[in-house]
Amino acid sequence: MSVSPRFLALLTAEGLEGKRALDVGCGQGRVTRWLAPRVKHAVGLDRDAAALETARRLAEGAGIANVEFHAADVEREAGAGAVPVHGRLPRGAVEGDR
For the chain, which residues make up each domain, given as ranges? 18-79
Say if CB 69 and CB 44 are below 8 A apart: yes
Q: For residue 46, what is the DSSP state?
A: E
Q: In the predicted model, is pLDDT for residue 47 greater than 50?
A: yes
Residue type, 10: L
Q: In the predicted model, is pLDDT for residue 92 greater than 60?
A: no
Q: How many CB atoms lie within 10 A of CB 25?
A: 14
What confidence tier does 2 reach under pLDDT thresholds 50, 70, 90? confident
32, 9, 11: which is closest to 22 by C-alpha?
32
Q: In the predicted model, is pLDDT for residue 67 greater than 70?
A: yes
Q: How many CB atoms lie within 10 A of CB 38?
A: 17
In whole angstroms, what is the distance from residue 61 CA to residue 91 CA? 33
Q: In the predicted model, is pLDDT for residue 14 greater than 50?
A: yes
pTM of the full structure = 0.74
Mean pLDDT rounded to a whole number for the chain: 82
Residue type, 68: E
- Homologous superfamily assigned to 18-79: Vaccinia Virus protein VP39 (3.40.50.150)
Mean pLDDT of 71-80: 73
